């Protein structure tokens, strides 16, 4: 009897392995052929693309070498958009590299079609068909970026100075490398423009600006904790300085931003200083500083409308 049980159990294991192979390696990632799209480089489109790239999506904050020792994480001069090696990140399952977004034809986007770039941005599939690691917020962009938005972004990226730089390829450890193959999904309908009212615009900005990516509370596997959206606490090492923790930006008055005035929050977004006037590290506020005042106030309205979540975040641990 025990032998039959072992054989049966072995058969179940083989079946599960087979199903996993089919699911993650034969059926994933799911993607469609790159759509036929053409980015027009009109003045309006370029202005829209620059605003989105430089101040909303912050694409170049991840795709450029940056000076992490400075507040605002400014790009290294001469390296704008040429890719970034994130190096060793504690707890991260692999080695993350953001590719070159400049129009260089060998190492950047110069050989990509507009449809291939749009598919990568909103559907999470690279030119060669592999799944992008979802730290690239394509799931959020699929819900926020319209066709006009993504084409404006592409038009603007094509105006960057081409820089020949191959930063390498992302390498993700198993089994995470298997699971991320199931994340991409073909876009069936482009996002609608955000509603004109202040709160709807602010909620759109919360997603498009990827605020949740840093400010949601996460567990040891960096998975968001249910009920703790925007409650902060994620640790971020600052080279040569120590470690900071993403702030609780929920509306809680004791541990979040409830006690901040609108002017306090405008100062955070515009000059990267907290309520006490101390510079903020680990937050790319330089990008958000370029948001219009209308958009900044919409973002603040959306933060205030969210639930108050009690979560005391540790103070920065800077080396002395």
Domain 198-318 has CATH 3.30.710: no
The pLDDT of residue 90 is 75
Tens-place pLDDT, residues 1-55: 576 666 656 566 565 556 556 666 655 688 899 999 999 999 999 999 999 999 9
The pLDDT of residue 240 is 80
Q: How confident is the model at residue 275 (pLDDT cuts 50, 70, 90)?
A: confident
The pLDDT of residue 241 is 80
Is-contact 215 234, C-beta < 8 A? yes
The pLDDT of residue 214 is 93
Residue range 72-88: mean pLDDT, rounded? 93
Q: Which pTM was predicted? A: 0.92
Q: What is the dihedral of CA 217, 220, 221, 223, to 10 degrees?
A: -20
Domain regions of the chain by residue span: 43-182, 198-318
Residue 292 has pLDDT above 70, yes or no: yes
Peptide linkage before 175 cis (omega within 30 of 0): yes
Q: Radius of gyration of the chain from Cα atoms?
A: 21
The pLDDT of residue 105 is 97
The pLDDT of residue 69 is 87
Q: Does 19 or 266 have the greater pLDDT score?
A: 266
What are the start-end ranges of the E strands in the chain?
Answer: 84-85, 94-95, 97-98, 171-172, 235-238, 242-245, 317-318
Bridge partners of residue 156, in order along the sequence: none
Average model confidence (pLDDT) across the chain: 91
Tens-place pLDDT, residues 115-165: 999 999 999 999 999 999 999 999 999 999 999 999 999 999 999 999 999
């Amino acid at each position: 009897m025990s032998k039959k049980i072992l054989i049966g159990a072995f058969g179940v294991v083989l079946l599960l392995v087979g199903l996993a192979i089919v699911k993650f390696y034969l059926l994933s990632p799911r993607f469609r052929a790159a759509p036929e799209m053409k980015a027009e480089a009109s003045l309006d489109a370029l202005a829209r693309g620059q605003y989105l790239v430089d101040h909303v999506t912050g694409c170049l904050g991840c795709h450029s070498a940056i000076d992490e020792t400075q507040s605002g994480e400014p790009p290294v001069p001469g390296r704008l958009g040429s890719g970034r090696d994130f190096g060793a990140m504690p707890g991260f399952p692999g080695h993350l590299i953001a590719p070159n977004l400049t129009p260089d034809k060998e190492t950047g986007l110069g050989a990509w079609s507009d449809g291939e770039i749009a598919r990568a941005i909103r559907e999470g599939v690279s030119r060669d068909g592999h799944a992008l690691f979802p730290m690239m917020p394509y799931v959020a962009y699929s819900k926020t970026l319209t066709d006009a938005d993504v084409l404006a972004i592409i038009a603007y990226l094509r105006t960057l100075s081409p820089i020949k730089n191959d930063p390498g390829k992302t390498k993700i450890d198993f089994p995470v490398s298997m699971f991320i193959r199931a994340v991409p999904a073909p876009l069936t309908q482009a996002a609608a423009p955000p509603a004109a009212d202040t709160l709807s615009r602010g909620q759109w900005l919360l997603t498009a600006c990827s605020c949740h990516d840093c400010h949601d509370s996460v567990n040891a596997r960096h998975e968001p904790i249910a009920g703790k959206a925007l409650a902060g606490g994620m640790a971020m090492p600052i080279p040569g300085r120590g470690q900071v923790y993403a702030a609780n930006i929920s509306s809680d008055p004791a541990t979040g931003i409830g006690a901040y005035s609108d002017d306090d929050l405008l100062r955070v977004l515009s000059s990267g200083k907290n309520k006490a006037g101390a510079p903020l590290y680990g937050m790319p506020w330089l990008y958000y500083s370029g948001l219009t005042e209308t958009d900044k106030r919409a973002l603040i309205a959306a933060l205030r409308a969210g639930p108050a979540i009690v979560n005391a975040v540790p103070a920065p641990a800077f080396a002395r």
